[in-house]
A and B are shown apart, each in its own frame.
Chain A
Amino acid sequence: MRIRVATMGLTVAVGILLVIQGGCSKKSIQSGGDAQSSERGMAKSGGPAPAPLGSSGELGSTGGLGSAGGMDAPSATFPDLSLSSKPDDLESGGLRGFDSVSGGKAPSEERLGGAGTMLAKVEPSESTARQIEDIRREQAKEQAASAEAGLSDVFFGYDSWTITEEGRQSLTQDAQWIKAHAGALVKIEGHCDERGTLAYNLVLGEKRAKAVRNYLVELGVGANRLAVVSYGKERPFCNERNESCYQQNRRGHVVVRSK
């Protein structure tokens, strides 16, 4: 009797297990399918987030002040980056394990070429040399034009992008010049001191540049004449490690654009 109950219990248990297994595998296939379809949906619709970026066409649009000459336009044909679609890289070579050396046998020869990841040699070409020269010339031109216009920069507090009273006075003068020179285009560079992370300082630099732009717009300068760019802490005016130097680098640099 007891044995029969036990056997019955076992049969039922096995039955349940089988049913569960069937159910489980079905469920997993289904959920896999769900995940895939929702992913495709996201790609098509631009996602559930409000204010979606929209179509891929927007990726191709150049922003800010226009792109440099001689550079490729954003490409819709960049290489496949999917990891799954690639065979194992033979050049990098997996490890092969140790060879038996019993009986004084020599291990088999493994020839090493390249240095793991192959690297193309960078030789500054004529066009890059020209580009570097262009950058230098443009910069010199901007500097001269800005000095001639007598534009003043704006300085900020630590971690801050609020324009100070002193900054407001500088910008009032800058705005007068810009309004008096209808053809001039102005660029505001946001800069930061070396403290903090590289990445966050780029965002902070942009906040500073935009704060300057917004104040100039408040003073009646057309927004279409004002461009902003952030250099974070990557192009400091001063390289020492003290507060007076840091102060120099927390800046909205107002520049007359060369083009």
Chain B
Amino acid sequence: MNRMIIGLMIALCVVVGAGLFGILDSRATDVFLEATRPDFQKIPIGVFGFQNGGGPEWLGGRIEEVLKADLQRSLVFSLVDLPGIGVKTREVTTADKAVFKQAAENGVSVLVWGKSGQKNGSKDSELLMDGFVYDSGSDEVVGGKRYVGTTSVVRLMAHRFADELVFRYTGEPGIARTKIVYVAEHGNARELFVMDYDGYEPKQITADGFLNLMPRWSPDRRFIVFTAYRSRNTQDIDILELATGKRWTLVSMAGLNITPALSPDGNFLAFASSQDGNSEIYKLDTRTKTSQRLTVNQGGDLSPTWSPTGREMAFTSDRGGAPQVFIMSGDGSNVRRLTYEGDYNAAPAWSPRGNWIAYVCRTPQRLYKLCIVSPDGQKRVQVTTGPGIDDSPSWSPDGRHLTFSSTVDGKSHIYMVDTDGKGLERITFGGTHNSSPSWSPAL
């Protein structure tokens, strides 16, 4: 009898609890659905331009160009061609209400303009950017930003302004200030580089002279974990602190030590090692420094990727012969196969939204392309098409884009694409071999 009552209470708890969470959850996901569902109406935005007031001749144009590209990539805004709808893009001030009204009547929701130039009285030739925002909903100039810095941060000024706009209209941090770590051929070696998400400002972060592979960010963006061939014959998993260049070895077991991935809370490092014979997945507790083997079978298990909650991970396994994507709980239990289409599915990456897992799928034509699948396996979409070997998909923190490497233009380069296959953009142009991109978390 007592048991029955307790059982009933627990059942009621679950129902009530689920109900409450359901309400909270649905409210949380509404924001997300808003900006990612197919019928989401992008916010029409017009950019008047940035007048130059002293400073380098290119300044205003550069800011406008970077800002427009950022707004376009945000997938939150759609850029309106102002002259195209009869709005003159002449010099604008906060007092030009008639111009704002005219644009608003032509369907533009947000207007942006500004000025840029030398900062008055600045000794170190500092530059200044002012940006202003008009909102047609409230019919007022809602505010502005002023950024000051050296020539080296001009792109960052525009990126930051774009992120402020995305944040104002979605409540989410934008991706304009995110970075991508990747592997580039350097001499005969493969070294790690970090660049802005749009491919600018690449900076080398390792110089070992052999192979450094498969870099991944720490959740706080301060560290990179990666596989380093410390000699030509042994592999370690190392961690590098970006601000100082300091480096530590986390894993140095016999055999392969590859595909490291830190959990979303930073408390665990999942990785693959072949020290017990074939490649298996292990989990290192970064606090206690102890590790645990998660997979046990004759096949190769590798490429763990954490769900955003940290409770599960997807990984590649060839336990059935050919490589396929599987999912398991964080403790190695409850393993189930996720991909069934095709005989080669590998390199999974779990979206920070949780709703998709991207991976490399081999098509019936034997092309290596990107696919996405929902974690329940119910929905599957091929994202990229055409020639070239696509590899190493990695999600943008807003879950709307993937960066990946492809040989579509001959040599391996880094690209980005929206999850619907649109917006394909090549982002590296120099070098002979760029691969293994990993997108940083948002700031």
Q: How far is the CA of A71 from the CA of B206 in the complex (A)?
A: 14
**Of residues 351 to 377 in B, which have CB atoms within 8 Å of A's CB atoms?**
360, 362, 368
Q: How far is the CA of A207 from the CA of B323 in the complex (A)?
A: 13
- Say whether B153 contacts A113, CB under 8 Å: yes
Does B62 sit within 8 A of A, measured CB to CB?
no
Does B204 sit within 8 A of A, measured CB to CB?
yes
Interface of B (DSSP majority class): mixed
Q: How far is the CA of A234 from the CA of B412 in the complex (A)?
A: 12
Q: A79-B248, A119-B194 are in contact. Are A107 and B146 (CB under 8 A)?
A: yes
Does A60 sit within 8 A of B, measured CB to CB?
yes
Q: How far is the CA of A76 from the CA of B288 in the complex (A)?
A: 9
- Say whether A74 contacts B194, CB under 8 Å: no
Q: How far is the CA of A219 from the CA of B97 in the complex (A)?
A: 88
> Shortest beta-carbon distance, B242 to chain A, in Å?
5
Does B267 sit within 8 A of A, measured CB to CB?
yes
Does B385 sit within 8 A of A, measured CB to CB?
no
- Say whether B440 contacts A117, CB under 8 Å: yes
Q: A61-B253, A197-B347, A234-B213 are in contact. Are A67 and B230 (CB under 8 A)?
A: yes
Q: How far is the CA of A132 from the CA of B210 in the complex (A)?
A: 7
Question: Interface code B146-174, partner A: CB below 8 Å = 1, 0 otherwise?
Answer: 11110011001100100110011000010
Q: How far is the CA of A135 from the CA of B292 in the complex (A)?
A: 34
Which residues on A sit within 8 Å (CB–CB) of B75? none
- Say whether B214 contacts A198, CB under 8 Å: yes
- Say whether A81 contacts B291, CB under 8 Å: no
- Say whether A135 contacts B210, CB under 8 Å: yes
Does B33 sit within 8 A of A, measured CB to CB?
no
**Of residues 121 to 152 in B, which have CB atoms within 8 Å of A's CB atoms?**
130, 132-133, 141-149, 152
Does B244 sit within 8 A of A, measured CB to CB?
yes
- Say whether B143 contacts A200, CB under 8 Å: no
- Say whether B293 contacts A67, CB under 8 Å: no
Q: How far is the CA of A124 from the CA of B245 in the complex (A)?
A: 12
Q: How far is the CA of A128 from the CA of B204 in the complex (A)?
A: 14
> Shortest beta-carbon distance, A245 to chain B, in Å?
13
Q: Interface residue tally of chain B, by bracket?
A: 35 or more
Does B42 sit within 8 A of A, measured CB to CB?
no
Question: Interface code B1-22, partner A: CB below 8 Å = 1, 0 otherwise?
Answer: 0000000011011001100000
Q: Which of A1-9, A48-56, A165-173 contacts B (4 or more CB under 8 A)?
A: A48-56
- Say whether B220 contacts A89, CB under 8 Å: yes
Q: A20-B16, A196-B368 are in contact. Are A187 and B233 (CB under 8 A)?
A: yes
> Shortest beta-carbon distance, B159 to chain A, in Å?
8
Which residues on B sit within 8 Å (CB–CB) of A20? 9, 12-13, 16
- Say whether A63 contacts B300, CB under 8 Å: no
- Say whether A110 contacts B146, CB under 8 Å: yes
> Shortest beta-carbon distance, A7 to chain B, in Å?
22
Does B101 sit within 8 A of A, measured CB to CB?
no
Q: Which of B82-90, B277-285, B417-425 contacts A (4 or more CB under 8 A)?
A: B277-285
Question: Interface code B285-317, partner A: CB below 8 Å = 1, 0 otherwise?
Answer: 111111111111000101100000000000010
The 6 sampled A-B contact pairs (Cβ below 8 Å) are A56-B288, A61-B252, A74-B236, A83-B266, A200-B347, A202-B213
Give 5 new A-B contacts, CB below 8 A, not counting A58-B291, A122-B204.
A97-B167, A106-B144, A110-B148, A120-B245, A229-B234
Top 4 A-B residue pairs of the complex, sorted by shortest distance between their CB atoms: A63-B254, A98-B143, A132-B209, A120-B245
A residues adjacent to B (C-beta < 8 A): 16, 19-20, 23-24, 27, 42-44, 46-53, 55-56, 58-68, 71-84, 86, 89, 92-102, 104, 106-125, 128, 131-132, 135, 138-139, 159, 187, 194-200, 202-204, 206-207, 227-231, 234-235, 241
